[in-house]
Structure 1
Amino acid sequence: MRHRWRRGLLAVVVGLLAAGCFAPSEPMFGDGDSVPEEFSRLPLPVRPDSDGAWALNAPGAGLLGQGRTLVRLEGAKNLEGAENPGWRLALPAEFALTSHQPGTAHSAFVRADRVVLVGGRDDRSGPSAIAGLAPERGLVTWRHALPPGSQVFLFEDAFEVLTAVCHPDSCLLTAWDASSGALRWTRTVPGAVRVVEACRVDAHGTVDGLSGVGCGFRLVAPDRVGTVAPEDGGVSWETGLRPPDGTVDRILVTGDRVIMVTAPAEGSCRATVLASGVTSGDGDRGWRYSFVWDQPRAPRDARTGCRWDRALPLVVGFRLVLPDAEGALDLDPHFGTLRPSQRLAPGAYVLTDGTSNEIVRAPGRPDRLLHPIGDQPVRPHGLSPAARSVTHGFWQDGRRLLLLDHEGHTLWKGTSDCRAFPKVGKGVGGPVTYCDGDDLVTLRPVRDD
């Protein structure tokens, strides 16, 4: 009986091996064995900004844009050899790409292979127009001028564009089909209503290469918060959720909890965070925290007099870090003050290097991990505090590019004149693209035989 069982098990294993279930995994950077092989090299089609990054970098769609130049990289969507046509487009001055924040003037939304450009003009502080781009052809296919005071958003679960013009007594909402530019619907919401971006864990501030992904929006009235249906503009007000006093500056969404954060008040710099109750598990009645806003990395805002920069994320890695003048407060973004928290020393702040590490930085002190595990290092040996992870095992430190094995030994090194970036959709450890002088080079992992 025992022998028959063993023979049966052996047959199953042999069958799985024959079916390829235990086939060797594909090479990837960071597996300790793979090294880079040059997959493609082409003349740099558009130079990045002075910071080494492009205003628009959507690797999944193969798009790079800076200023009035937008290009689609030839063969960018297929690293197995299939050719995809590339193109180069000279954008109108109104749609020049200079902003990294989707929805602001001179920016773009990208989702899969669809693109919406957001224009701007010198005589306008906000968006002046929206336009649709067909990436497969490199053509602007539609355009709509916007009235002064317009805001532009992307629905989170549908590729529809929302434009909003809000006044003290009402807010006019208009939805456009992002592919055709056709008008979907218009709706006027009465009252003192504002539209506020609602990101999933501060998506723009924490992830490279995203353009409008992870952010929807909420309607915010003095006494309630609501959502808008992309199909017909129907407004649903969330039961029992009332905004805190002050101007709600951003909304974060984590699971079924909505977190509202007010801008610091002029003079006092006091701000409030209010988290909704939840319906999951046993539920709770939410939580609230008030503090004096002070971001050590930020210059003083001209209007409020506070050290405040809304481009700096409040969610770093997996933690919500509130810039309290008494010392930044480290919280779980879902549980907030409902669970024990940690306060940092005054002047310290938290940032990430592109990994899951949350790093505490303070003037005159060495960096440390916010939540260390054993003797886990802050970063691989020999890298400066400016080092960032491009993908698993691949690091960029200034102009230096390094591929490290599990022990921190260098498997490959090079230099890049721009911010290197990974190929989206290939998983962690997939191909990496960087600038070698006047060339744009893509490396793919191969086994080191």
Structure 2
Amino acid sequence: MRRRRWRWLLGGVLVLLVTGCFAPQGPMFGDGSAVPEEASRVRMPVRPGPDGGWVVNSTEAGLLGQGRALVRLPGPGRRGWRLALPAEFAVTSPQPGTAHSAFVRGHRVVLVGGREGRRGPSAIAGLDPEQGRLAWRHELAPGSRVFLYEDGFARVLVADCRPGSCGLTGLDAWSGRRAWTCTERGPVRVLDGCRDDALAVERPSGDHRCGPYLVTPDRVATLDPETGRPSWLTGLRVPRGGIDRITQNGGHLTMATAPARGSCRVTVVAARIGKDDGDEEGDWQRTFVWDQPQAPREPRSGCRWDRALPLFAGYAMALPDAEGALVVPLYVGTLSHSRRLAPGEYLVGDGTMNPVIRAAGRPDRRLDRSAPPVRPAGLSAAARRVTAGFWQDGRRLVLLDHEGRPLWEGASDCRAFAGEGKGPGTAVTWCDGADLVTLRPVGAD
């Protein structure tokens, strides 16, 4: 009898697993048949910036911000509000950490202010997302830099680095209270492994682990967000000439020097983190002449170099060698598995794990030769993918089926954007004149 009950129980569990795993999903954009239905239409709460997007755009928190206007759109369990920001905290810079920018991580928002006549950030302020007000403000010393810990810690780091020392302060991102303060002596700098000083200025992910690094001419340390204590990494081969950018990607810490004035030579070093016996990934170092075909010449060095351009795209890293970009696989991380592109070619990401090879006067193509075309037929080289099956080409919006035929077309006056998540019900929001319109997928009749 007991054995029979166990059989019935096991059978019930299997039924639940099967129905849970294989139950039919609802309609979703990109399934080849779902079409858009208007889910909401509201007056534009805040106009986008010159590029058609917003400096603050968090679909998770329902926030849109540009200039001195910051709004939270009403939603299920979410009260809407509108906040007129002080001029000091107007959001106009898309680069978090610079003056007039914002750090946004989930529902956590820290504004970075700027004042006329002053270079760099002047103060930081934390947002209360429920009440729609600035909850705290912290004045910054001239020359300070601001960092946000990305890995789940509600910490803001303020670094005031001088020639002989670096003052570090950790603040609670919700309350603005000081959690710790310390001073590191000597020629110490703080580099952001996520944004300004990263080799990958894409949205932080599990592969590109974020956090500030303490850097000296011969050492690198991570900084504990709870205590401020540095952990100096051992066994690193720090490149000569000083580290200019740093990123932890996969199992490697990758460091690069700045292009030398006149010669444009750089050194890139990749060092394994947490080395295990039998690990096939290896440390490597390469010195080459830096040349980014898509970049103008930087006045100080005379090199084609744009510090804001990412080297990581999808699953690969491209070293911009003048002889031809050298592509190193992210998960293997060894030069022995590298591949050289033709002169003038470089990699760009498009939101997928398969990056795109681009060159002036040539059509885009995938790094993986067996992958489908970059864009469906009939779209220009400027077309961008909003979400699965949904494309924006200038003002034109188009949803395509699996054969590349239009299921729906419209025109947007801003950069359309997708909602959170990738499952059924993922929405697309766009601008119809003075209205902000959200579309949801429904089954075609």
TM-score of the superposed pair, with normalisation by structure 1: 0.90
Task: Report the counterpart of residue 402 of structure 2 in structure 1.
Answer: 406
Rounded to whole Å, the distance in 1 between the matches of 2:333 and 2:199 is 19
Q: Which amino acid aligns with 1:271?
A: V
Q: CA deviation at 1:346?
A: 1.5
Aligned-pair CA distance for 1:366? 2.4
Task: Output aligned runs, 1:200-349, within 5 Å.
Answer: 205-207=201-203, 215-278=210-273, 279-280=275-276, 282-283=278-279, 286-349=283-346
Question: Hey, what does 1:397 align to over in structure 2?
Answer: 393
User: What SS does the aligned partner of 1:248 have?
Assistant: coil
Structure 1 residue corresponding to 2:373, chosen from 371, 377, 394: 377
In structure 2, the partner of 1:138 is 132
- In the superposition, relative to structure 1, how do residues 380 and 184 fare at CA in structure 2: closer, same or farther (>3 Å)? same
Answer whether contact 1:17 1:23 (CA < 8 A) is retained.
Answer: no
1:53-92 Cα shifts (integer Å, max 9, x gaps): 11111111111111111111121xxxxxx35221111111
Write out per-residue CA displacement over residues 151-183 of structure 1, whole angstroms, 9 at most, x where no aligned residue. Answer: 000123211000001112111100001111101
Alpha-carbon separation, structure 2, partners of 1:155 and 1:20? 36
Compare 122-131 and 180-189 and name the one that shifted more. Answer: 122-131
- Which residue is 2:157 aligned to? 162
* 1:417 partner SS: coil
What is the Cα deviation at residue 255 of structure 1?
2.5
Letter of the structure 1 residue corresponding to residue 421 of structure 2? G
Give 1:22 deviation, angstroms: 4.1
SS at match of 1:219: strand
The farther-off stretch of 194-203 and 169-178 is 194-203
**1:173 to 1:119, Cα distance in 2 relative to 1, 3 A:** same
Partner of 2:3: none
Moved more, 107-116 or 196-205: 196-205
Residue 175 of structure 2 is aligned to residue 180 of structure 1: yes
| Larger CA deviation: 34-43 vs 12-21 | 12-21
- The answer to whether the aligner puts 1:365 opposite 2:362 as a matched pair is yes
Counterpart of 1:44?
Answer: 44
Paired position in structure 1 for 2:55? 55
Alignment of 1:196 onto 2:191? yes
Aligned partners of 1:71, 1:281: CA distance in 2, in Å?
A: 52
Give the paired residue count. Answer: 434
The structural deviation recorded for 1:225 is: 0.4
SS in 2 for 1:70: strand
Give distance in 1, aligned partners of 2:421 and 2:236.
37
Q: What is the 5 A alignment of 1:61-140?
A: 61-75=61-75, 82=76, 84-140=78-134
Structure 1: gaps spanning 5 or more residues: 1-6, 76-81
| 8 Å CA contact retained: 2:391, 2:398 | yes
Contact 2:328/2:335 (<8 A) preserved: no
Q: How big is each residue's C-alpha offset from its partner over 1:310-343, in whole Å with a ceiling of 9 and x where there is no partner?
A: 1111101211011111111111134444423221
Which residue, out of 345, 350, 353, partners 1:353? 350
SS of the equivalent of 1:48 reads coil
Q: Which moved more, 1:220-229 or 1:424-433?
A: 424-433
CA distance in 2, matches of 1:220, 1:142: 30
Change (3 A) 1:152 1:24: same
Bigger Cα displacement from structure 2, 172-181 vs 354-363 = 354-363
Which amino acid is 2:283 matched to? G
Partners of 2:277 and 2:402 in 1: CA distance: 39
Q: Secondary structure at the match of 1:339?
A: helix
Find the counterpart in structure 1 of residue 444 from structure 2.
448
- Provide the rounded CA distance (Å) in 1 between the counterparts of 2:31 and 2:383: 20
- Residue 242 of structure 1, CA deviation: 3.7
Shift of 1:97: 0.5
**In 1, distance between residues paired with 2:209 and 2:420?**
15
- SS of 2:194's equivalent in the other structure is strand
* Partner SS state of residue 186, structure 1: strand
Query: How far 1:367 sits from its partner (Å)?
Result: 2.2
User: What SS class does the counterpart of residue 225 from structure 2 fall into?
Assistant: coil
Letter in structure 2 aligned against 1:382:
G
Quick check: 1:389–1:395 contact (8 Å CA) kept in 2? yes
* Counterparts of 2:385 and 2:243, CA distance in 1: 33
Gaps of 5+ in 2: 1-6
Residue of structure 1 equivalent to 2:412: 416
Asked whether the equivalents of residues 110 and 125 of structure 2 are also in contact (C-alpha less than 8 Å), the reply is: yes
How many Å separate the matches in 2 of 1:426 and 1:230?
Answer: 31
**Alignment partners' CA distance in 2, 1:378 and 1:300:** 29
Q: How much is the aligned-residue C-alpha RMSD, in angstroms?
A: 2.7
**What does 1:145-156 align with in structure 2 at a 5 Å threshold?**
145-156=139-150
User: Secondary structure of the equivalent of 1:206?
Assistant: coil
> Could you tell me how far apart the structure 1 residues matched to 2:13 and 2:236 are?
56
Deviations 1:104-129 (A, max 9, x none): 11111112212111111222221110
Q: What's the secondary structure of 2:407's corresponding residue?
A: strand
- Greater displacement, 342-351 / 277-286: 277-286
Amino acid at match of 1:219: L
What residue number does 1:4 align with? none
Counterpart secondary structure, 1:276: strand
Q: Distance in 2 between matches of 1:321 and 1:175?
A: 34
Tell me the CA shift for residue 353 of structure 1.
2.8
Could you tell me which residue of structure 1 aligns to residue 426 of structure 2? 430
Post-superposition CA distance 1:222-245 (Å, at most 9, x none):
111001111111111001114212
TM-superposed CA distance for 1:400, in Å, is 1.1
Q: Percent identical across equivalent pairs?
A: 61
Counterpart Cα distance in 2 of 1:19 and 1:271: 56
Q: Residues 33 and 441 of structure 1: is their aligned pair in 2 closer, same or farther, counting only changes over 3 Å?
A: same
Note the C-alpha offset of 1:134: 0.5
